[in-house]
Structure 1
């Protein structure tokens, strides 16, 4: 029964892996930082075996790259940077921890840990990421307020300056349409293609009425 209750968790590649820290930072001018410790936790009720892989194995020495973790226990994995040179500054390497059940070969879970070599701790970013994000959000909010104020001032100027040119031109077009002869009139010097139907004149009158209301309100 116990085996069946935890069986759904034992899906290949789906088991959560708990590692601390999730990022390793080595400093060239600090000898003590050349040795880092990864702690692998096993909160489950069954034992796990682990394996540590690296994208740049020549740059690091991993003590006990393979091993086992008892149920509800943890194990420390010591990683040493053994190629501290300026050409490696800022290069991001990756460690992958793969875990599996002791009686199986398939990897139940994996976790990647980034590793970076910096020349000095003083050359890290002066602002943490949350503060940088807060500053960027404040700038965007300030730009949004400025845009809204500018748009409001533009609309106020347009309202105080009377109707727009487009409104006036559209009103003149509607007036001209109403002055044209109606379709079917015989005695007219205006060409036939300029004769408008009754429906078109009704539309022009309706639009002209709306424009008149807009002009009076301004």
Structure 2
């Protein structure tokens, strides 16, 4: 059995997915979001969800316990959908402590934004254009060396990795009791999803 991580410094990584919440005024289905909190450790964690604007949200089970190597879902509803709140950036803070202890071991902030229409939300698509054939290899080499950045453009490697992590988290988990239409090899383990959540969190 592995020894638990040292907690003397009061800091441990917090694993949360998604790393931001997006609500849309014209999409009622988006007014309810789910945050998944992961506990990869061998001891139970106690969590608490805080908000910079608690009057605008209701949180189901804003406090609770995450058993070792398990996860919990926290349902968040936006209850103040109006024009005045569109574009305003709020934050949720997830803070955790060891079960039975008061000392905060870690925390993570999750951004929350309300957009007027779904098509006006954050865009993940990039506009790609063809390059001259003799420039493609040089471009790829330079893009890789400089962490995938060209000028002020985004890193295509990071975008691709983020998309793959999101897809991994959307796939069913091994051992799910619900019937799934996905083949067995697309049922990921808890550890695999945890790694995807961690990588995605690093991009946030």
TM-score range, shorter chain: 0.5 to 0.7
Q: 1:85 to 1:137 in 2, by over 3 A?
A: closer
- SS where residue 101 of structure 2 aligns? coil
Q: 2:9 aligns with which of 11, 14, 24?
A: 11
1:29 positional shift = 0.3
> Are residue 40 (structure 1) and residue 37 (structure 2) matched?
yes
**1:26 matched to which residue of 2?**
23
- SS where residue 22 of structure 2 aligns? strand
The CA RMSD measured in Å over matched residues stands at: 2.5
Structure 1 spans left out of the alignment, 5+ residues: 139-218
**2:171 matched to which residue of 1?**
none
1:135 positional shift = 7.5
Higher helix share: 1
Kindly indicate whether the alpha-carbon contact (under 8 Å) linking 2:45 and 2:66 is maintained by their aligned counterparts in 1.
Answer: yes
**1:93 matched to which residue of 2?**
90
Kindly indicate whether the alpha-carbon contact (under 8 Å) linking 2:96 and 2:105 is maintained by their aligned counterparts in 1.
Answer: yes
Separation of aligned partners in 1, 2:127 and 2:108: 24
1:6 positional shift = 2.4
Moved over 4 A (4+): 125-131, 133-138
1:73-116 Cα deviation digits (max 9, x unpaired)? 00000000000000011100000000000121011010100000
Separation of aligned partners in 2, 1:105 and 1:125: 38
> Are residue 75 (structure 1) and residue 92 (structure 2) matched?
no
Q: 1:53 to 1:101 in 2, by over 3 A?
A: same
Matches within 5 A, 1:14-163: 14-125=11-122, 128=125, 136-137=151-152
Greater length-normalized contact order (CA 8 Å, ≥ 6 residues apart): 2
Separation of aligned partners in 1, 2:120 and 2:48: 33
Separation of aligned partners in 2, 1:94 and 1:103: 27
Structure 2 spans left out of the alignment, 5+ residues: 129-147, 154-204
1:129 positional shift = 7.0
Indicate the structure (1 or 2) with the bigger Cα radius of gyration: 1
Separation of aligned partners in 1, 2:85 and 2:122: 18
State the aligned residue count. Answer: 134
TM-score, normalization: structure 2? 0.60
Kindly indicate whether the alpha-carbon contact (under 8 Å) linking 2:4 and 2:41 is maintained by their aligned counterparts in 1.
Answer: no
Q: 1:127 to 1:38 in 2, by over 3 A?
A: closer
- SS where residue 16 of structure 1 aligns? coil
